[in-house]
Amino acid sequence: MGLGKGKTYRDVHNRAYALELGENQWRSISSVPSSLPLPGRLAAVAVGINEYAYLFGGYTVAADHQEISSPDVFRYDISEDTYQRLAPMPVPVDDAVALVYQQRYIYLISGWHNAGNVNLVQVYDTQTNTWQQASPYLGQPVFGHAGAIWENQMIICDGVKVVPRLNARRMYAPEPACYRGSIDADDPLKVDWRLIAHPTGKAKYRMAAAASNGQFVFVGGSTNPYNYNGIGYDGKPSDASSETWIYAADKNAWQVYDGAGNESALATMDHRGLIVVGNHLLTVGGMDNKQQVLDKVIIRKLPASH
């Protein structure tokens, strides 16, 4: 699912593809079903548990630019190429963060619901097909944020908040803030959220994030939040970043890396996930520094920690 190269409402699709590691060719798989009249969605999120991929939400875009957050949750069986509809989200969200805990619970953190952001942490139990609410997100409700989990530690950074204005239309603003959420060992619905230092002081939008060996890795994104066509809410084309941020939980410290002379090729944004394979970081698709939709898998080397 996502956005095609035309970047209009007509290019929002529900097609799906798969690549087996070691192979050189992507293949088409069954398209993602939908309970809404328009099947294509933007800003959905997916996570993997064993042989299944779990897909959540996203939003549809109509010809009149109306956007609707989808409540849909599907479990995709990789070997059978089939989708099973699961219990819908209590509060449908898109542009949220989804994180897996204990190979059972999936945490949907903040995100956009139809007309505004929510601070909810919605927890899906894959064993019982039920939803519950965990401790609310401590930060400003945001969309387009990024996050990762290692053991019981979650790190969530940045995104876009809604800012009210006196007698004027609301506006969107980047939110430069990172939070560490510790999941209680006895109660998965209890999360101790704490503000941590920000690596740069400047927020990113739609980064890719993952955790590896106790490190939390954030790559790409843009410092200028934008609509789905890559044009900022300020009317200016958004630039992609080539930076990699790494947070070491044991040291409570950040390291920031640039593109190491390869900034142009590594400057990407509009991501929904980051894949760690050995000491390499993979992003699939996204947008480049010219706001063009990518058909590439970008490989970055995981920087050595200090």
pTM, 2 dp = 0.95
Residue 295 CA neighbour count, 13 Å, CB half: 5
* Domain locations in the chain as residue ranges: 2-301
In the block, which residue shows the tokens 């099973």? 84
What does the block give as tokens for 37?
Answer: 């009249």
Tens of pLDDT, residues 84-134 = 999 999 999 999 999 999 999 999 999 999 999 999 999 999 999 999 999
Judged by DSSP in three states, 265 sits in helix
CA–CA gap between residue 99 and residue 78 (Å, rounded): 19
The residue ranges of the chain whose pLDDT is under 70 are 260-264, 305-306
How would DSSP label each residue in 104-130? Answer: TEEEEES-EETTEE---EEEEETTTTE
Give 10's DSSP letter: G
- Provide the pLDDT for residue 260: 62
Q: How far is CA 265 from CA 268, 287, 288, 289, in A?
A: 8, 11, 8, 9
Q: What is the pLDDT of residue 304?
A: 76
The residue type found at 253 is A
| H helices present in the chain, as ranges | 263-266
In this structure, the chain runs to a length of 306
Q: Which CATH class is domain 2-301?
A: mainly beta
DSSP letter for 68, please.
Answer: E
Residues 97, 152: Cα–Cα separation, whole Å = 16
Q: How far is CA 139 from CA 10, 215, 260, in A?
A: 35, 21, 32
Query: Are 221 and 206 spatial neighbours (Cβ–Cβ below 8 Å)?
Result: yes
Question: Cα separations (Å) of 228 from 65, 196, 271?
Answer: 11, 29, 12
For residue 285, give the DSSP letter.
S
